[in-house]
């Protein structure tokens, strides 16, 4: 089950309704949707919109896979590696060393 798709679907269809999903299994069962105020949504409408939303999310995941594949280490780690490699000008290296000396890693 894709809770993101369920959330987006219900938010679009019923923006003013409060709801809960009462199941922790991986299968989506629209009978486990509980709405407040005795609201009874049209489950076929939810299912149709949900199926469209799942396709949108899956297409977005595929379209952005290269961005996730190319994630570099955090910039702080990159800069720390450059500092340790000695590639900063002396003035910058001295500033970094002062910070590192004053606040060493635990």
Give pLDDT tens digits for 80-101: 999 999 999 999 999 999 999 9
Question: Would you say the pTM of this structure is higher than 0.85?
Answer: no
Burial grade of 5 (CB within 10 A; 0-12, 13-18, 19 or more):
buried
Residue 2 near residue 55 (C-beta atoms within 8 A) = no
Residues 11-60: tens digit of each pLDDT = 998 898 888 887 777 777 877 888 888 788 888 888 898 899 889 989 99
Query: HSE on the CB side for 30, CA within 13 Å?
Result: 16
Q: State the Cα–Cα distance between residues 63 and 42, nearest whole angstrom.
A: 32
Q: Residue 1: is its pLDDT beyond 70? A: no
Domain boundaries, the chain: 3-69, 72-106
């Amino acid at each position: 089950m894709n809770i993101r798709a369920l959330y987006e679907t219900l938010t679009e269809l019923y923006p003013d309704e409060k709801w809960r999903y009462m199941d922790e299994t991986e299968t989506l069962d629209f009978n486990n949707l509980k709405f407040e105020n005795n609201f009874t949504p049209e489950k076929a409408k939810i299912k149709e919109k949900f199926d469209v939303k799942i396709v949108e999310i899956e297409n977005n995941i595929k379209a952005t896979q290269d961005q996730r594949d190319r994630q570099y280490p955090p910039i702080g780690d990159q800069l720390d590696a450059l500092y340790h490699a000695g590639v900063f000008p002396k003035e910058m290296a001295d500033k970094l060393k002062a910070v590192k000396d004053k606040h060493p890693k635990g």
